[in-house]
């Protein structure tokens, strides 16, 4: 059971002294908002001791202003009015900590997204709004409890879902770091999609060799437990202490489910090849139209002989490759996918894969005529451009079709060739061309796999492209919105082998960081129950969506046994649904109490910051600290 | 070695404090590894801190880079050396010994409070390298607003030794006689995050060899677009006029064998599209044209970003620019042939032109110094385990992060850095069984 140490602080002799800092954000805010006027208006607040503006509060000298004021001017509450708290809340909390102040005696007011950016044309209005928002921040921070992070003991073990190159790569990296790994693979063997590949660009290694290399490392590691033919069917708990249920359907009925306790989870479920719709460039209507993966398989099996390239038992003397099939689709031009949307993303790998395949055709069957029909050639990677150049040198003809006019294929009956591809070519000033072909190869892109059951276990974030979504596409590319759940490889978006392995090793390092110490610290913004006020009605329990976060328990209080709401702080997400239904106001989210909200609303509707009441020294403010959570879930 | 040589021992030596070096250092230090991070320039942050906004999120680059910079600067497990050069790294008995020269700033760092009074007092104006020559700085100055560390650097070559700065310094920290300092680091592994440079703007005679004032490098345009940029807006360097027609010349430094850069630089399409979008915002009536060979918007969300730019009215013209000249009013004139129109070669005048320059390595093994790893044919560091072990170099225990192994954008450099940190961690686990320093 978790203990909460809640105590009212001794009213200290020090009055509440708030420091207010208004950031210019290098013009992002100050071009619209009069930051000096905001700082001046807040200086009139009875609890504000210092109020300043500065070019970049997040910079070292900006942070130094706060630290100096805490130390020299006895500031004991801080409000920063700046950009989004997702960017810098932690920056400033750390600054408070370095100055010796409790890092939660801090309020971040977003006057960029919530004022300067949305009121660009109204400088005065934006400035007035910023004053009210900052005043509300001041009112909130004077009522702020002294909080301490929740400490969670960690399991030094990671569950990796998916046994392709990304999953194996992550597993090997984690095991090398000394962590235990359970590698869960749905199929009967490790290797994933790469096992299907003959040669890979640009190293010309064999896909099978790459898979074998990784498989050997996985199987040679005593710390990796491989579970083939298995799926994750339960994902409870939280960062540091997940409880993952792995189901192996082939096992005996009473031995199918295996509970794994893990500190982090890496998802490496990969991708599916796009399957063209019936009739898309003639697919499904003629045996002469195949996908790139199918063609690669056929090419692998085609014996070297004087009869030339044979696909499905038919000669292929002239082959057209069509790019962007299932990728870079356009509303109104392409038929929507099952979710009603088109695949508007680039699949990244198909350009080089296509040209790599063209080079194989050219070197093995130099007599085959090769046509490449594209929108853009995206051979962006290291060593990729050479395939484009070599293909062109070896005689492949390149045509560029307009976005809105994809090429079409018509089978011929009794003609010399299997059919004709018709396309408009931008490179020859929009001329319409007819290309006689024996075979059309569709460079199909990547689509997300159907992992809805895994997504539903934890409401994992999914992007508009239906791939799993990272927290920040620039700065935090492998973390999801659920702490401790990480992404590796093409489950997140199209990637090639190199990119998937890079992402996997980065996911591994993020897991290694989370599990580097015996405990993890979590933010303390969770529900806290006031035992004196709770009447045990249980309304809060009915509202709580998070299993295990809130329970009713009998507790000893003043010699009597009473029924109370009890919070598990590691499971509570601080949503506040419980607080909203508690009529005696016995349950509150730490750092976001109802008293704080009341005061913020009063400040926002007040006409004059100077007229707001002075709040006496730390009245009612508490010290809230939780015991380390170490027991099982 | 002089008696004053500082000696340090660390788990990992990271060379270069751009975004890849910063991220690799954090990913090691957050696991409890000790890191020595060495940066040649006076501030950390690399090219990313020099940008206006980043694609495809259009986040302000300063806003998202400074937290990383501050985290590194304040990390208990990271020892940071700026304005410092790694002279050489030798491998012996499974450890790496590096000699580092810390160049003088001519100020005593332990006393400087970053008040900028020296900068205000200085009377010597120099070209500002942070603004790529578009602005001016003083001979003693803090490199840029959000530089870390916030110490000024005195440019000894251009200083008049007038003493104005020393007179106003409240802590008497200016020391005109400061000498370089030597540092020796003994590390268990090395990460090279040596980064890139733009292909030189003066390389191509057909594009005027950098001699036209209104033909800019993309980083110059980043500065013009930055909220705290040199002109406070986008203006023509030649006459301060607001341009109403701006053109981008794609592949101006890449996919061009005449420049020795046959490869694609990966970022130029996206930064051109991003700048075009930002320009549409700041100069709503300006026409913006991008002359391109292929638009390579291959990253997550990039194609959608490209399509948004088209929808916003940015004009994309499939044409390779053959030549650039200028008229007497310094208006750049582009000789092009529109492949879609087929009307033959023509000359088009614009008010301002940006050459979408590519990336070349900032440090090449052929230059010598640093460390004896091998380069690939493209000049970047060789990746012998490119597919499965992307961070490997040709020397065991030495790993690469970011653009040291080829052009990359920010997210790819960050991901790469994580992989390098993981590889270095596991190398240490195999070779250095001693326990790591733990977080406090």
- The residue out of B359, B385, B415 marking a domain boundary is B359
- Residues A45-74, buried b or exposed e (16+ Cβ, 10 A)? bbbbbbbbbbbbbbbbbbbbbbbebbeeee
- Asked if A457 and A372 sit in the same domain, the reply is no
Strands B196-198, B125-127: parallel, antiparallel or unpaired by DSSP? unpaired
Tell me how far apart the alpha carbons of residues A352 and A197 are, in angstroms, rounded to a whole number: 14
Indicate yes or no: CB of A63 within 8 angstroms of CB of B264.
Answer: no
- Asked if B125 and B94 sit in the same domain, the reply is no
Residue B439 lies in a domain: no
Residue A633 confidence (pLDDT) above 50: no
- Asked if B412 and B274 sit in the same domain, the reply is no
**Of the candidates B31, B227, B296, which has its C-beta nearest A380's C-beta?**
B296
Q: pLDDT-based confidence at A204, cuts 50/70/90?
A: very high
- Asked if B85 and B136 sit in the same domain, the reply is no
Residues in CB range of B358: below 8 A, 6 or more apart: B198, B199, B251, B252, B253, B254, B261, B264, B265, B268, B407
At A84 the pLDDT is: 83
- Asked if A135 and A208 sit in the same domain, the reply is no
Mean pLDDT confidence for A124-147: 95
Residue A280 lies in a domain: yes
Residue B268 lies in a domain: yes
Indicate yes or no: CB of B67 within 8 angstroms of CB of A173.
Answer: no
CATH (domain of B129)? 3.30.70.20
pLDDT above 90 covers what percent of chain A?
A: 76
- The residue out of A446, A474, A496 marking a domain boundary is A446
- Residues A386-398, buried b or exposed e (16+ Cβ, 10 A)? bbbebbeeeebbb
Residue B1 lies in a domain: no
Tokens of A147: 């909080």
Residue A343 confidence (pLDDT) above 50: yes
At A2 the pLDDT is: 47
Residue A243 lies in a domain: yes
- Check: CB of residue A580 under 8 Å from CB of residue A587: no
At A619 the pLDDT is: 44
Mean pLDDT confidence for A495-507: 98
- Asked if A453 and A424 sit in the same domain, the reply is no
Enumerate the residues of chain A whose CB falls inside 8 A of the CB of residue B380: 382
Residue B437 lies in a domain: no
A515: closest chain B residue by CA? B31
CATH (domain of B15)? 3.50.50.60
- The residue out of B319, B344, B359 marking a domain boundary is B359
Indicate yes or no: CB of A506 within 8 angstroms of CB of B418.
Answer: yes
Q: What is the pLDDT of residues A213-229, one digit of tens each?
A: 999 999 999 999 999 99
- Asked if B241 and B334 sit in the same domain, the reply is yes
> Closest by alpha carbon to A169, among B424, B205, B423?
B423
**Structural domain containing residue B141:** 104-177
Q: pLDDT-based confidence at A611, cuts 50/70/90?
A: confident
Mean pLDDT confidence for A411-415: 87
Residue A521 lies in a domain: no
- Asked if B336 and B378 sit in the same domain, the reply is no
- Asked if A392 and A471 sit in the same domain, the reply is no
Residue B381 lies in a domain: yes
Q: pLDDT-based confidence at A55, cuts 50/70/90?
A: confident
- Check: CB of residue A475 under 8 Å from CB of residue A230: no
- The residue out of A589, A609, A624 marking a domain boundary is A589
Which residues share a beta bridge with B289? Answer: B247, B315
- Check: CB of residue B72 under 8 Å from CB of residue B173: no
- Asked if A316 and A421 sit in the same domain, the reply is yes
Indicate yes or no: CB of B422 within 8 angstroms of CB of A177.
Answer: yes
The phi-psi region of residue A132 (left if phi > 0; otherwise alpha if psi is between -120 and 50; otherwise beta) is alpha
At A307 the pLDDT is: 77
At B357 the pLDDT is: 97
Torsion sign, CA atoms B369, B375, B379, B384? negative
- Asked if A173 and A138 sit in the same domain, the reply is no
- Asked if A414 and A369 sit in the same domain, the reply is yes
Check CB contact of B66 with chain A, cutoff 8 Å.
yes
- Asked if B222 and B334 sit in the same domain, the reply is yes
- Asked if A479 and A620 sit in the same domain, the reply is no
- List, as ranges, residues 170-209 from B with C-beta within 8 Å of A: none
At B1 the pLDDT is: 45
CATH (domain of A221)? 3.50.50.60
Phi and psi dihedrals of A116, rounded to 5? -65, -40
Residue B56 lies in a domain: yes
Residue A288 lies in a domain: yes
Burial (CB count <10 Å: 0-12, 13-18, 19+), residue A554: exposed
- Asked if A302 and A400 sit in the same domain, the reply is yes
Residue A383 lies in a domain: yes
- Asked if B190 and B50 sit in the same domain, the reply is yes
Residue A13 confidence (pLDDT) above 70: no
Check CB contact of A405 with chain B, cutoff 8 Å.
no
Tokens of A293: 């993966």
Torsion angle defined by CA atoms of residues B210, B214, B220 and B222, in that order, rounded to the nearest 10 degrees: -140
Residue A253 confidence (pLDDT) above 60: yes
Tell me how far apart the alpha carbons of residues B53 and B51 are, in angstroms, rounded to a whole number: 6
Residue B217 lies in a domain: yes
- The residue out of A516, A536, A559 marking a domain boundary is A516
Cβ contacts below 8 Å, chain A against chain B, sum to 225
- Asked if A412 and A560 sit in the same domain, the reply is no
- Asked if B152 and B190 sit in the same domain, the reply is no
- The residue out of B308, B332, B359 marking a domain boundary is B359
Range name among A58-62, A406-410, B139-143, B219-223 with the lowest pLDDT average:
A58-62
- Check: CB of residue B422 under 8 Å from CB of residue A172: no
**Of the candidates A328, A477, A498, which has its C-beta nearest B303's C-beta?**
A328
Give the total number of structural domains in chain B. Answer: 3
> Closest by alpha carbon to B13, among B29, A184, B290, B58?
B29
- Asked if A504 and A547 sit in the same domain, the reply is no
**Structural domain containing residue A413:** 274-446
Residues of chain B where predicted confidence (pLDDT) is lower than 50: 1-2, 436-440
Give the total number of structural domains in chain A. Answer: 4
At B31 the pLDDT is: 96
Which residues share a beta bridge with B13? Answer: B36, B190
- Asked if B228 and B91 sit in the same domain, the reply is no
- List, as ranges, residues 384-403 from A with C-beta within 8 Å of B: 384-386, 389, 400
Residue A425 lies in a domain: yes
- Asked if B66 and B186 sit in the same domain, the reply is yes
Check CB contact of A486 with chain B, cutoff 8 Å.
no
- Asked if A30 and A109 sit in the same domain, the reply is yes
Residue B296 lies in a domain: yes
Residue A260 lies in a domain: yes
Enumerate the residues of chain A whose CB falls inside 8 A of the CB of residue B296: 376, 378, 380
Indicate yes or no: CB of A509 within 8 angstroms of CB of B422.
Answer: yes
At A7 the pLDDT is: 57
Q: pLDDT-based confidence at A8, cuts 50/70/90?
A: low
At B224 the pLDDT is: 97
Q: How far is B125 from chain A (nearest CA, A)?
A: 23
Tell me the whole-structure pTM to 2 decimals.
0.89
B421: closest chain A residue by CA? A509
What single string gives the DSSP state of each residue in B179-238? --EEEEEEEEEEEE---EEEPPTTS-GGGGGG--TTEE-HHHHHHHHSTT-SSSS---TT
Mean pLDDT over the full length of chain A? 91
Helices A60-72 & B61-73 angle (0-180, nearest 10)? 60
- Asked if B234 and B322 sit in the same domain, the reply is yes
- Asked if B73 and B188 sit in the same domain, the reply is yes
Q: pLDDT-based confidence at A571, cuts 50/70/90?
A: confident
């Amino acid at each position: 059971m978790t203990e909460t140490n809640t105590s009212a602080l001794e009213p200290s002799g020090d009055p509440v002294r708030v420091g207010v800092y208004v950031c210019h954000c290098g013009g992002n805010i100050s071009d619209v908002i009069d930051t000096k006027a905001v700082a001046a208006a807040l200086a009139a607040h009875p609890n504000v001791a210092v109020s300043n503006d500065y070019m970049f509060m997040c910079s070292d000298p900006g942070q130094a202003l706060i630290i100096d004021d805490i130390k020299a001017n006895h500031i004991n509450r801080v409000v920063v009015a700046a950009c989004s708290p997702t960017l810098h809340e932690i920056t400033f909390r750390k600054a408070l900590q370095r100055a010796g102040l409790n890092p939660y005696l801090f309020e971040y007011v977003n006057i960029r997204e919530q004022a300067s950016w949305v009121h660009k044309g109204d400088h005065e209005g934006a400035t007035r709004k910023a004053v009210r928002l900052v005043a509300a921040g001041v009112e909130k921070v004077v009522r702020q409890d002294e909080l301490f992070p929740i400490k969670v003991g960690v399991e030094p073990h990671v569950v990796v879902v998916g046994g392709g190159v990304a999953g194996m790569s992550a597993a090997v990296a984690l095991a090398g770091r000394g962590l235990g790994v359970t590698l869960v693979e749905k199929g009967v063997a490790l290797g994933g999609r790469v096992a299907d590949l003959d040669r890979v660009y640009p190293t010309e290694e064999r896909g099978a060799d790459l898979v074998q290399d990784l498989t050997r490392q996985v199987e040679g590691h005593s710390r990796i437990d491989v579970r083939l033919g298995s799926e994750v069917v339960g994902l409870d708990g939280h960062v540091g202490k997940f409880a993952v249920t792995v189901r192996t359907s082939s096992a005996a009925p009473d031995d199918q489910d295996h509970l794994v306790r893990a500190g982090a989870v890496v998802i490496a479920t990969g991708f599916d090849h796009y399957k063209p719709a019936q009739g898309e460039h003639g697919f499904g209507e003629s045996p002469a139209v195949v996908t790139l993966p199918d063609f690669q398989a056929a090419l692998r099996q085609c014996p070297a002989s004087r009869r030339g390239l044979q696909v499905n038992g038919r000669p292929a003397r002239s082959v057209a490759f069509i790019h962007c099939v299932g990728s870079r689709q356009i509303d109104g031009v392409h038929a929507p996918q099952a979710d009603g949307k088109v695949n508007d993303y680039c699949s990244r790998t198909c350009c080089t894969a296509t040209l790599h395949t063209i080079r194989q055709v050219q070197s093995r069957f130099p007599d085959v005529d090769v046509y490449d029909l594209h929108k853009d050639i995206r051979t962006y990677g290291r060593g990729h451009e050479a395939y484009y150049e070599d293909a062109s040198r070896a005689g492949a003809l390149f045509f560029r079709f307009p976005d809105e006019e994809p090429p079409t294929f018509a089978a011929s009956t009794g003609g010399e060739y299997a059919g004709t591809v018709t396309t408009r070519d931008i490179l020859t000033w929009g001329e319409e061309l007819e290309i006689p072909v024996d075979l059309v190869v569709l460079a199909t892109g990547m689509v997300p796999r159907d992992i809805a059951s895994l997504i539903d276990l934890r409401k994992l974030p999914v992007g508009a492209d239906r791939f799993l979504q990272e927290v920040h596409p620039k700065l935090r590319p492998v973390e999801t919105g659920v702490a401790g759940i990480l992404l590796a490889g093409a489950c997140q978006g199209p990637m090639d082998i190199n990119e998937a392995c890079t992402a996997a090793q980065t996911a591994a390092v993020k897991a290694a960081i989370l599990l580097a110490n015996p405990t993890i610290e979590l933010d303390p913004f969770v529900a806290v129950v006031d035992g004196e006020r709770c009447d045990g009605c249980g309304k809060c329990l009915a509202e709580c969506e998070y299993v295990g976060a809130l329970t009713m328990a009998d507790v000893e209080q003043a010699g009597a046994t009473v029924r109370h709401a009890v919070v598990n702080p590691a499971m509570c997400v601080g949503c506040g649904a419980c607080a909203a239904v508690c009529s005696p106001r016995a349950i509150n989210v730490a750092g976001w109490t109802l008293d704080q909200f009341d005061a913020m609303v009063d400040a926002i509707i007040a006409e004059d910051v100077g007229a707001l009441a002075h709040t006496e020294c730390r009245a009612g403010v508490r010290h809230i600290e939780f015991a380390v959570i170490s027991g099982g879930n | 070695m002089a008696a004053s040589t500082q000696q340090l021992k660390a788990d990992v030596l990271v060379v270069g404090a751009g975004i890849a070096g910063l991220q690799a250092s954090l990913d090691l230090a957050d696991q409890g590894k000790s890191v020595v991070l060495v940066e040649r320039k006076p501030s950390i942050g690399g090219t990313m801190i020099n940008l206006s906004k980043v694609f495809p999120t259009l986040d302000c680059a300063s806003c998202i880079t400074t937290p990383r910079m501050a985290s590194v600067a304040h990390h208990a497990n990271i020892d940071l050396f700026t304005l410092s050069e790694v002279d050489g790294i030798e491998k012996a008995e499974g450890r790496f010994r590096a000699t580092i020269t810390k160049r003088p700033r001519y100020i005593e760092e332990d006393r400087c409070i970053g008040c900028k009074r020296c900068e205000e007092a200085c009377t010597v104006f120099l070209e500002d390298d942070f603004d790529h020559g578009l602005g001016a700085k003083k001979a003693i100055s803090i490199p840029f607003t959000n530089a870390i560390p916030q110490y000024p650097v005195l440019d000894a070559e251009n200083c008049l030794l007038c003493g104005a700065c020393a007179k106003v310094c409240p802590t008497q920290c200016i020391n005109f006689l400061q000498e370089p300092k030597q540092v020796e680091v003994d590390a268990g592994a090395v990460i090279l995050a040596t980064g890139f440079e733009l292909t030189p703007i003066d390389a191509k005679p057909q594009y005027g060899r950098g001699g036209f004032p209104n033909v800019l490098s993309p980083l110059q345009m980043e500065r013009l677009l930055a909220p705290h940029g040199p002109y406070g807006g986008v203006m023509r360097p030649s006459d301060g006029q607001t341009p109403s027609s701006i053109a981008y010349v794609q592949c101006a430094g890449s996919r061009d064998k005449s420049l020795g850069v046959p490869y694609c630089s990966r970022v130029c399409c996206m930064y051109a599209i991003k700048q075009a979008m930002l320009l549409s915002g700041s100069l709503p009536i300006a026409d913006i044209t991008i002359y391109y060979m292929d638009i390579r918007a291959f990253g997550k969300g990039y194609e959608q970003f490209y399509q948004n730019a088209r929808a916003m009215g940015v004009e994309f013209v499939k044409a390779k620019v053959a030549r650039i000249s200028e008229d007497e009013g310094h208006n750049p004139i582009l000789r092009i042939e529109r492949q879609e129109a087929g009307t033959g070669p023509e000359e088009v005048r614009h008010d301002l032109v940006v050459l979408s320059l590519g990336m070349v390595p900032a440090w090449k093994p052929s230059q010598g110094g640093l460390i004896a790893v091998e380069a690939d044919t493209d000049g970047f560091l060789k990746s012998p385990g490119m597919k499965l072990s992307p961070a490997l170099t040709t020397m065991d225990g030495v790993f690469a992060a970011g653009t040291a192994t080829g052009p990359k954008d920010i997210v790819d450099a960050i991901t790469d850095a994580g992989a390098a940190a993981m590889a270095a961690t596991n190398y240490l686990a195999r070779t250095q069984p001693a326990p790591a320093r733990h977080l406090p």
